[in-house]
């Protein structure tokens, strides 16, 4: 897929997210829209996965630790052929395999059940350690939210990743600067995130979190035998202007007008 096709794909994924979230009248638009390119870089550029064999033992692992961003992941997994696209329209409905937060026992292609913030980071550490023990060469990618790194266990996980020299582990931070109650700065300052992960023993890189090529390059480049931390600067609600940089759209359902405006904008961008 060339860069132009990827741009169009990103708009299509965002359209799916808006459609899914409008239909279920719940869920998290802001944080789903901010992580689209991060997940696309993984699924269309970097990670080795097989939609025909989701539990292929030697696949790369993707852990969406910020599980509430799952509409983006579901749209991508459907596009890749892990399950039929029609399933997307039953998100969060009873008897749907698409749960409000990712469920590895229900949805093909989900590697770890997440949603309770912080835990995906530790599960990813365990998977990376297991890969080392099995002498397997696959990598483990965990996507974290910025509010999420306020959870203490993320730092326990970071400490253990460096201690065990997990150069097969990549943490990617979706840094959109906002969380439910406001900005990170207002709620609980994160300080110098790069310096913190560096001090914990990670190789650190910062990228434009909406540049698929840049993200793919940053997460693929060698990390000097260390676990890798990639800080992806993103915009919460990216692609839907009235949601952008607005903490209020963390978990708010769209009304019919808002849904129409969002679709117009995304489809305009898609064709423009």
Partner 1 sequence: MAEGKSLRVAYGEALAELGAQNDKVVVLDADLSHATMTSIFAAQYPERFFNFGLAEANMMGAAAGFAHSGLIPFASTFALFGTGRAYEQIRNSIAYPKANVKFGLSHSGLSVGEDGGSHQSIEDIALMRVLPGMTIFVPCDPLETKKAVFAAAAIDGPVYIRVARPVVDVITVEDAPFIPGVANIMREGVDVCIIATGLMVKDALAASEELGQKGIGASVVNMHTIKPLDVDCVLQMAQTCKAIVTTEEHSVIGGLGSAVAEALAGQSSVKFARIGIQDKFGRSGKPEDLFKAYGLTALDIERQCLSLLR
Tokens linked to 137 = 């060469």
> Quick one: 119 or 176, whose CB is closer to partner 1?
119
Q: How far is the CB of 207 from partner 1 (least distance, A)?
A: 26
Task: Give the x/- contact pattern for partner 1 in 160-179, rule: CB under 8 A.
Answer: x--xx---------------
Note whether 238 and 30 are within 8 A (CB). Answer: no
Tokens linked to 169 = 């582990």
Q: Which of 2, 57, 95, 224 binds partner 1 (CB under 8 A)?
A: 57
Task: Give the x/- contact pattern for partner 1 in 225-264, rule: CB under 8 A.
Answer: ----------------------------------------
Q: Is residue 272 close enough to count as binding partner 1 by CB under 8 A?
A: no
Q: Is residue 103 close enough to count as binding partner 1 by CB under 8 A?
A: yes
- Rg of the chain's alpha carbons, rounded to an integer? 17
Q: How far is the CB of 54 from partner 1 (least distance, A)?
A: 13
List beta partners, residue 204.
Answer: 229
Torsion sign over Cα 176, 63, 135, 52 = negative
Q: CA 23, 240, 243: angle at the middle one, nearest 5?
A: 85
Of the candidate spans 9-17, 130-138, 216-224, 250-258, the one that interacts with partner 1 by CB under 8 A turns out to be 130-138
Note whether 147 and 180 are within 8 A (CB). Answer: yes
Closest CA to 10 of 171, 238, 234: 238
Q: 112 vs 45, 70, 196, 204, 231, CA distance in Å? A: 21, 12, 26, 24, 22
Q: Is residue 73 close enough to count as binding partner 1 by CB under 8 A?
A: no
> Quick one: 23 or 101, whose CB is closer to partner 1?
101
Q: How far is the CB of 125 from partner 1 (least distance, A)?
A: 5
Residues near partner 1 (CB under 8 A) are 57, 103-105, 111-113, 115-116, 118-131, 133-134, 152-153, 156-157, 159-160, 163-164
């Amino acid at each position: 897929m060339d860069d132009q096709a990827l741009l169009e794909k990103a708009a299509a994924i965002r359209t799916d997210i808006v459609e899914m979230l409008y239909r279920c009248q719940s869920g998290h638009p802001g944080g789903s829209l901010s992580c689209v390119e991060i997940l696309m870089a993984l699924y269309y550029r970097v990670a080795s996965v097989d939609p025909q064999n989701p539990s292929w033992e030697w696949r790369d692992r993707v852990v969406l630790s910020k599980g509430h961003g799952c509409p983006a992941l579901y749209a991508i997994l459907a596009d890749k052929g892990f399950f039929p696209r029609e399933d997307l329209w039953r998100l969060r409905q009873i008897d749907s395999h698409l749960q409000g937060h990712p469920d590895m026992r229900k949805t093909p292609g989900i590697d770890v059940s997440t949603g309770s913030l912080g835990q995906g980071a530790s599960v990813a550490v365990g998977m990376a350690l297991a890969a080392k023990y099995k002498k397997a060469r696959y990598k483990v990618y965990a996507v974290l939210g910025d509010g999420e790194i306020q959870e203490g266990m993320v730092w326990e996980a970071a400490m253990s990743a460096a201690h065990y020299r997990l150069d097969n582990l990549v943490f990617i931070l979706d840094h959109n600067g906002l969380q439910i109650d406001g900005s990170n700065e207002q709620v609980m300052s994160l300080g110098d995130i790069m310096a913190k992960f560096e001090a914990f023993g990670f190789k650190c890189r910062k990228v434009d979190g909406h540049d698929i090529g840049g993200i793919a390059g940053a997460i693929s480049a060698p990390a000097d035998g260390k676990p890798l931390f990639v800080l992806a600067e993103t915009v919460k609600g990216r692609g839907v202007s009235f949601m952008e940089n607005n903490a209020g759209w963390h978990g708010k359902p769209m009304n019919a007008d808002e849904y129409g405006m969002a679709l117009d904008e995304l489809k305009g961008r898609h064709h423009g």
